[in-house]
Structure 1
Amino acid sequence: MTGRAARPARPVLLLLVLLAGWLGLGVATAGPAAAHAELVSTDPGEGARLDEVPAEVTLRFSEGVSLGAGYARVLGEGGERADTGAATVDGDTVTVPLREDLPDASYVVTYRIVSADSHPISGAYAFVVGDGELADAGAVADGAGVDPFVAAALPASRALGFAGLAAGLGVPAFLVLCWPAGWASRTMRRLTTAGLLTVAGAAVLTFLLQGPYAAGAGLGSLLDPSLLTTTGASSFGLTTLGRGALALLLAALLVPLWRRAGAPTAQETAGLGAVAAGVVLTTAAVGHPVAGALPVFATAVAAVHVAAMALWLGGLTALLTGLVRTGAEAGELAGALPRWSRLASASVAALVVTGVVQSVREVGSPVALVSTPYGWVLLGKLALVLLLLAAAGVSRVWVQQQLGLPRTRPHPRRRVPAHAFATAGATRAGAEEDAVASAARARAAAQARGAVEDVAPLRRSVLVEAAVAAGVLVLSAVLVGIPPARAAVAQPVDVTLPLQAAAGEVGSVQLSVDPARPGPNTLHVYLFDDAGQLTQPADLRVTLTEPAQEIGPLDVDLEPAGPGHWVADGASIPGAGTWTLAVSVRLDEFTAATASTDVPVR
């Protein structure tokens, strides 16, 4: 019994081991931000003072974007439109052509674009042509938020969709894999049908909400034709509607099975599985997985995560509604529970592994885990998952102790003289063995029936699992709409570059910038000769330039910190963008060398 009771702790132990590995892996693999586009550079730059009006304004983001239901505009001092209304998008760059014959004045650039993960990004900044005062862009940007009712309705629709997946996909999967007799259950039919209709309804609601969400409009714009057309033309809209259509198709394919109250054939199971896989894939192929690095891999991981979630929670739903019933179904469930216990363990393992992989991609580092809204919600979800695993462990212990088939020992027999076997011995031995096997089966069946009649401990643990799982689904829906922690936290830069002189490489320089965000930063410079030894040059200069915003070069004040080592503590970086950090070294009277690198500043 002790050995069996220890088994349920394995998923928890696996989760803790993987999380510990993530702490190191997250630091080692921390790289550029993924998902949720951010403004990287603009032309003209923020606060720039120009001699003449430019022909266009360009905005460059950290990933591909679309205008969708959003906009990109340039406004004059009186709020009138200074652009031609023909903004275009080319990958990660938005171009806004300006009208001709514009006067010298201050202009405000305001934008609301949709990132690859379907979330809107908005902002505003100002520049000046001539000697006038710079306009206040903040007043324009303040009104570009998301309507609070739309912001609350979107995660609610996602949570409904996740719950529908658990019932609509998980319940029939439980019947196929663990409880074939359950196809005759009216309760299972109602659960599955309600789940698939919920998936379809949530998909339609999410589709309708996406337009107002992207445009910053209210619920009154749900049926706005222009917003519906824009959403329908996007990959997000097509994928979401596809999910709803596949859910309805699956519900239709299940109707003949419910009518005949029988398990599907192998061919029918394959067809149902293909449609269910489509529902899972269209659920995973939106949001954070499709943006940033390795979208195909991230979508595949998300699909496995969704499928494991549906299997586990769908099985819980079937068990919860079945265990409160009595009669003939009790014995059937007694046979199904051991199979379900094994399936649940596999689902938990898949959830743990894919969850850690997703966390590494979206969070990136332990610092981001504890310092961003995404990380805080993820920690809350993790706490609920641990509680869920504990409740699942109680259920698994009960199943193993109450329904596990006992090992039977050979029945003690009397010693029989050898010559007795010459005539009737073989027949008697066979009869005794049949009797022992029959008795063992009878004891196992009686034990199973008795266990199912006393299911109070199992019912309580399953109820706890279901309640906590509801909280996990809600937090999962919230996470979909929050910028990934990796994108919200600046990443320090640490790089070693070759020093290039007219005659070739003459050594190397190591540069580190921390935290690589607007404001004060710490810069370390280490200079090495050809032999890899720290060296002292005749002169050293370090500059920062933001070419896209026409800022710089700005000299960085360095202080000696040892042989071949200089520090700039509190070096100021004026704003976000891709800054070029350049090093100029004069090694002696005749030799000068340079090195440079781009530093993404968030």
Structure 2
Amino acid sequence: MRWRTHLAAMMLGALTVLALPAAPANAHATLVGSAPTADVVVDALPGEVVVTFSEPVRPVADKVRVITPDGGRLDTGKATARGADLVIPVRGDGSKGTYLVSYRVISADNHPISGGFAFSYGQVSATPTDDAGAGVQTDPLVKNAMSAARWIGFLGLILLVGPALILLTLWPARLPTTGPARLAVVGGGLVAVSTLLELYLQIPYTSGNGLLGGTLDGAAESLGTAYGAAHLVRLAAVAAAVLLLRPVAGLRAGKVDRALLILVAVVGAATWPLSGHPSASPVPALTVVADAAHLAAMAVWVGGLVVLFGFLLRRASHRELAAIMPVWSGWALLAVTVLVLAGTAQALVEIGTLSALTGTLYGRLVITKVGLFAVIIVAAAYARDITNRDFPAAADDEKEAASVRGRLRIGVLVEIGVVVLILGVTSVLVQTTPARSVEAASAQPGRPVEVKVSSNLFQVVVDVSPAKTGINTVHLYARKPDGSAPLQVVEWKATVALPAKEVEPITVPMVALSPDHASGQVAFPSAGTWDMRITVRVDDINQATVTARVPVR
């Protein structure tokens, strides 16, 4: 049957991402070097410290520091970005000892990157700490709120675009337009609320503060970026779309109204990729267009399904539906085709390799999305089969016509339900580091290893990269015993040993980047499962030691 052919074609297109060649990696900045180099001892203090990333970055205000051995500040003035270089001006009169460089920057795709390293002038001393926490992790509540705001925005776009399109093109003149028009206005309101939430949340997301950590200075800085500009344009596009809904809802939209509405829709859809991962990909022209097309096709298809389920399948006559459904079925097939092609193009760029698809959180989310999409394709094929075969056959039988409508509504409801799940996955996906960036950060070869170990006082998340023989970077994050919140640490100690090969404990010098985060470097001379013993002191009296098992290739 024809629908089986369409189903096979759609799934083949969605899965070609597994077989095509890799794309070059380039976004979600990673640290690639520094001057002075980490852990070196220099004979004289430099005039500036330069931290080099894999892509252009911009510094977060007052979150880039050079801490002196006595806990003061060596940096002077504001850090500036010169392409991929973060340049920190420093004084030349510092005392001898170990200095901590602590930074928080924003990558080209608007995600924060934080970290730090130490170097020494003249002699090595105890590494100072950055009490202001420039290297602090992003608050999980802020990150989750950002995903929720994105979900609201996607939902609003569906409710705005679907009803507007159906009213503009397929709505029967005899039926009142109040219901779908109100739905479109609600959709516009949700997009506006989502946009305002994202603008606010970007402030604490950027600065590393808590959910209520937004400031006027942070707001001004956020609005002055491409991210802020894209969101302001989105708000203007939503306002214009809602104004244009009046003639559309009155079924009296002229050519000018239609042209303006199409223009507003194109501009509004483009603001999503321009404020996220697609704008920072190796081929931004492709990924921005593909993401905008993907988003528009999703809004047209799912928004149309909502109007069909909520209004037309209940109110329109069988004769009206017999005229509407074949047209809609063709549009839906076109939207699905665009979704598959655009989604495949994006996945090829953002993932690139089979190992990145299966070995990263981003890749696994894409697999989940494809699986859910396969369910929708089956439901859509079922609905299309009913439209093409059963609708014409039931034209003269009122009882059979009601049965056909009932079966079609069930199929549409399944599609809508699965789409809600896909929107949830997508809202998390846009906040997740692209798979190509994760692989690029650990392409030495080797992959980072993350282990969680706990005591009655704390939980420690141990991150070792690239987890192979040679020099490795170790990050330790302290949390409360149940893992619910960061925990302030007074002192960190760590050693690694490989009893299986009689390698005695090796001390890992740890640098406290923030109250709950420490970092260090260690050289693993051979492969095997190493024992990392971590001692954490949480106050003047209480401390505990835990052991993490770290596989090294």
Of 184, 188, 212 in structure 2, the residue corresponding to residue 196 of structure 1 is: 188
> Cα–Cα, structure 1 residues 21 and 262, in superposed 2: closer, same or farther, change >3 Å?
closer
Residue in structure 2 matched with residue 111 of structure 1 by the alignment = 103
Conserved? CA contact 1:402–1:447, under 8 Å: no
Conserved? CA contact 2:67–2:130, under 8 Å: no
The Cα of 1:302 is off from its aligned counterpart by 0.9
SS in 2 for 1:184: coil
Does residue 346 of the first structure (1) align with residue 353 of the second (2)?
no
Residue in structure 2 matched with residue 423 of structure 1 by the alignment = none
Of 222, 229, 237 in structure 2, the residue corresponding to residue 238 of structure 1 is: 229
The Cα of 1:292 is off from its aligned counterpart by 2.8
> Cα–Cα, structure 1 residues 282 and 230, in superposed 2: closer, same or farther, change >3 Å?
same
Alignment of 1:433-448 (within 5 A): 445-446=395-396
CA distance in 1, matches of 2:104, 2:212: 20
Residue in structure 2 matched with residue 173 of structure 1 by the alignment = 165
> Cα–Cα, structure 1 residues 150 and 299, in superposed 2: closer, same or farther, change >3 Å?
same
CA distance in 2, matches of 1:123, 1:492: 16
Of 368, 388, 396 in structure 1, the residue corresponding to residue 356 of structure 2 is: 368
CA distance in 2, matches of 1:185, 1:329: 15
Alignment of 1:93-104 (within 5 A): 93-104=85-96
SS in 1 for 2:63: strand
Deviations 1:30-52 (A, max 9, x none): 42x22211111111111111122
Deviations 1:429-487 (A, max 9, x none): xxxxxxxxxxxxxxx74358952564221111111111110111111111111110011
Residue in structure 1 matched with residue 426 of structure 2 by the alignment = 476
CA distance in 2, matches of 1:447, 1:268: 40
Structure with higher Rg: it is 1
State the one-letter code of the partner of 1:238.
A
> Cα–Cα, structure 1 residues 170 and 43, in superposed 2: closer, same or farther, change >3 Å?
same
Alignment of 1:320-399 (within 5 A): 320-323=309-312, 325-326=314-315, 328=316, 331-399=319-387
CA distance in 1, matches of 2:172, 2:3: 26
How many residue pairs match? The answer is 456
Residue in structure 2 matched with residue 430 of structure 1 by the alignment = none
> Cα–Cα, structure 1 residues 285 and 452, in superposed 2: closer, same or farther, change >3 Å?
farther
Over aligned residue pairs, what C-alpha RMSD do you find?
A: 2.7
Conserved? CA contact 1:68–1:114, under 8 Å: yes
> Cα–Cα, structure 1 residues 98 and 157, in superposed 2: closer, same or farther, change >3 Å?
same
Conserved? CA contact 2:162–2:302, under 8 Å: yes
Alignment of 1:121-520 (within 5 A): 121-133=113-125, 135=127, 144-181=136-173, 184-222=176-214, 224-258=215-249, 261-323=250-312, 325-326=314-315, 328=316, 331-404=319-392, 445-446=395-396, 450-452=400-402, 454-490=404-440, 514=445, 518=466, 520=468
The Cα of 1:290 is off from its aligned counterpart by 0.5
Residue in structure 1 matched with residue 494 of structure 2 by the alignment = none
SS in 2 for 1:489: helix
The Cα of 1:80 is off from its aligned counterpart by 1.8
Residue in structure 2 matched with residue 592 of structure 1 by the alignment = none
The Cα of 1:254 is off from its aligned counterpart by 1.3
CA distance in 1, matches of 2:359, 2:130: 26
Of 57, 64, 85 in structure 2, the residue corresponding to residue 65 of structure 1 is: 57
- Once structures 1 and 2 are overlaid, which stretch shifts more, 236-245 or 249-258? 249-258
Give the TM-score taking structure 2 as reference length: 0.77
The Cα of 1:144 is off from its aligned counterpart by 0.9
CA distance in 2, matches of 1:332, 1:342: 16
CA distance in 1, matches of 2:196, 2:385: 41
> Cα–Cα, structure 1 residues 460 and 41, in superposed 2: closer, same or farther, change >3 Å?
same
Give the TM-score taking structure 1 as reference length: 0.71
Deviations 1:257-302 (A, max 9, x none): 32xx325233321121111111111122221111031212211111
CA distance in 2, matches of 1:300, 1:50: 49
CA distance in 2, matches of 1:445, 1:95: 73
CA distance in 2, matches of 1:86, 1:70: 8
Give unpaired runs (5+ residues) of structure 2: 448-464, 471-525, 528-553
Conserved? CA contact 2:70–2:128, under 8 Å: no
CA distance in 2, matches of 1:396, 1:241: 39
Conserved? CA contact 2:50–2:86, under 8 Å: yes
Conserved? CA contact 2:146–2:201, under 8 Å: yes
- Identity level (%): 33
Conserved? CA contact 1:63–1:292, under 8 Å: no
